[in-house]
Amino acid sequence: MKLSELPIYWDLLRLPLPVVIKRIRQRLGGGKHPDTSYKVPSNLKWLAEISDVLEGKLNQKKWNILFDHYTNDELNLLGSGWTSLKNATQPKGFLGQTFGNFPRPEITENTIDWNRDQRTGFQYSINGNSKEELSKAFTINGVDVKFCWEFARMHHLPQLAVAYKHFPQRRKEVLTTFEKHLATFNKQCQLGKGVHWTSPMEVAVRLTNILVGFHVLKNELAHIEELVVEMAYAHFAYISTHLEHKDGFGTNHYLSNLMGLVVAGYFLENDEVNERSGWAWSEMEKELQKQFFSDGFNFEYSTYYHRLSTEIALVALKYAKKQGFEVSKETLKTIGQALTSMETLMKQNHELPKFGDIDSGRILDLDPEGEFLDGDFMPRAESCKFVLDLKRTGSVYHHFYRDVIKLLEHTTISSLLVKSAANRTKRSLSHSHEWKINFPEIDTDSIVHYYWPEAGLVVYKSHEFYLAVNLMANSKGHRYRGHLHNDKGSFELQVAGQDYVVDPGVISYTSSVEERNRYRKTAAHPIPFTGVEQNRHLHGFLGSFHSRLDVEARPTKISDHSLECKIFYRGVKVFRGFEIKHDHLLVLDRCNKAFTLNKNNEIPLTAGYGKLI
């Protein structure tokens, strides 16, 4: 251990005294350990009533292409492209890495292989020891477990349920595919075994998609109801005994655990499940107040984790309401503000700025947005259009969430629109640089600006102009800061639908520690770089999901067409100014140290998790 790393270890290890005592007691054997027996509740029953049918106006061309892929056992991986799940398929490789034997000898050639990373071909053991399988993802260079987990979230199952109603001529294909995917997964991924029973969050998302999808097709798939019910209760048992509470320091993972239990309580008729569901909703209400600031934004220093946590809360709200649970005004305000924040922060192309980590995660992707390319349809995992569709009568999302939309109608945020922040006097700094970004002439009078004072976000936008500035450095954010990037003062600029400056995003979490950190570091973002990192983290894997918060960032002046802000860290003082003109953006940087200005071409940009532009 280097002496310079001591503050990082201290930040990583320091905990409130009650938590320290609890963990010491657990280490010494005196603490209460969670039940890990995965005991499936008795008296397994499925809710008889079918009240939800996934309706809405659909793009026939798009959905026919989607079902062509699904029935051919192909799924889209986090916006990075269609990938076959079949055992014999040769992998394309990722970051120069390829693994495995094809086909895997344990299963037949055309069978889906749920335990293979279809990007690299890396093969996890079928029904192997879960702990050992997960360790492979973190110790073998080139392996990213998210590539395997994403397919098993089963986002396509509710979409197949949508297809059943809207495509009568394809109903046999839909039912066959639905049954095949569930049956093969259940055979290869038995309860508590293998890589798919290592993350309670993944189990909860998968359970939600299985329950929502099968509920619609229950009558048509009555012959597999026993299988689905057993799978659902097994998922419930695992989540219930593996909550990611983290001694009160939970994140979106804990929210997803609670969501899974709430959803299970609606679909499964069992006293134990129903009681646990009620507890999970009351816990969800408490947790939302921890994980969202009062200005409506999530506390994980990431725009796309805001999207994920907001969707988790929205799904939980729907099924809490269906069970008649009480919903507090504070909860409705939090969820309503979170949705409004997402809509306000959204660009014309329905994407958010890529501030902080972005892994394209979703919960219920009921109507994928994307583009038609060479006769195919490519979903865009980074789209947030579903927020707009909640308000669009006739959309799948409006129909699905219709029972909670009314609850949220009066929770929009008017306080986001501000005219100024506190003025501060800038010291004379010895180094400066002016960056002029030209674009076609715009109407500056139509630009409106928004400011999230706790989250640390500023946005200027109109129908043709978009500028978002990242100052997310609130010390009240999540203490481990696992999704924080060294990107304070960075910005994204889009004019007339064209991107001029964008954040590089994330290529992978665990395939390569070097690549992970390459996309997190200060030099990866369009900000001044003095050679000093904004925030320190440990080298190696231990630092991949933790960072100190060394940086202080906040606006010093906000006006209709300009912004001034300060970014201070580790002896570096930067004052950055933005001036919006009718045909250019002027960025003026002043610093107390010599710096280079990153202009967004230092590393390859991503177009979805694991895919380069």
**pLDDT per position as a tens digit, 427-460:** 568 899 999 999 999 999 999 999 999 999 999 9
Domains of the chain: 1-33 (no CATH), 51-242 (no CATH), 243-413 (1.50.10.100), 431-597 (2.70.98.70)
Task: Please give the pLDDT value at position 420.
Answer: 46
Distance CA 18, CA 26 (A): 12
CA nearest to 162, candidates 51, 58, 312: 58
Segment 125-149 mean pLDDT: 91
> Percent of the chain, pLDDT > 90?
69
Task: Please give the pLDDT value at position 26.
Answer: 60
Is residue 417's pLDDT more than 60? no
Task: Please give the pLDDT value at position 43.
Answer: 81
- Tokens 């008296």 locate to 43
Reply yes or no: is the peptide bond before residue 103 cis, omega within 30 of 0: yes
Strand order of the sheet with strand 584-591? 431-438, 584-591, 572-580, 562-569, 551-559
Segment 16-35 mean pLDDT: 59
- Residue 497 in tokens: 């639908």
Confidence of residue 31 (pLDDT cuts 50, 70, 90): very low
Is residue 426's pLDDT more than 70? no
Task: Please give the pLDDT value at position 34.
Answer: 45
Is residue 54's pLDDT more than 70? yes
Task: Please give the pLDDT value at position 546.
Answer: 87
> Percent of the chain, pLDDT > 70?
91
Report which of residues 117 and 312 the model is more confident about: 312
Confidence of residue 395 (pLDDT cuts 50, 70, 90): very high
Distance CA 557, CA 485 (A): 24
Q: Which of 294-298, 471-475, 540-544 has the lowest mean pLDDT?
A: 540-544
Task: Please give the pLDDT value at position 475.
Answer: 93
591: phi then psi, degrees, rounded to nearest 5 = -145, 150
Is the Cβ–Cβ distance between 529 and 596 less than 8 Å? yes
Is residue 606's pLDDT more than 90? no
Distance CA 92, CA 89 (A): 9
pLDDT digits (tens, 9 = 90+) for 55-92: 778 999 999 999 999 999 999 988 888 999 998 888 88
Q: Which of 37-46, 178-187, 246-255, 570-579 has the lowest mean pLDDT?
A: 37-46
Task: Please give the pLDDT value at position 418.
Answer: 45
Identify each DSSP E strand in 311-442 by its residue range: 370-373, 376-379, 431-438
CA nearest to 465, candidates 354, 587, 323, 561: 561
492: phi then psi, degrees, rounded to nearest 5 = -125, 140
Segment 28-56 mean pLDDT: 66
Is residue 171's pLDDT more than 90? yes
Provide the whole-model pTM. 0.94
Give SS3 for 89. Answer: coil
What is the C-alpha R_g of the chain? Answer: 24
Identify each DSSP E strand in 80-162 by its residue range: 82-84
Is the Cβ–Cβ distance between 413 and 337 less than 8 Å? yes
Contacts of 23 (CB under 8 A, 6+ apart): 15, 31, 247
Task: Please give the pLDDT value at position 279.
Answer: 98
Report which of residues 504 and 413 the model is more confident about: 504
How does the average pLDDT of the chain come out, rounded? Answer: 89
- Residue 126 in tokens: 């079928």
Segment 34-50 mean pLDDT: 71
Task: Please give the pLDDT value at position 497.
Answer: 94
Distances in Å between the Cα of 534 and the Cα atoms of 35, 521, 545 are 42, 8, 16
Task: Please give the pLDDT value at position 90.
Answer: 86
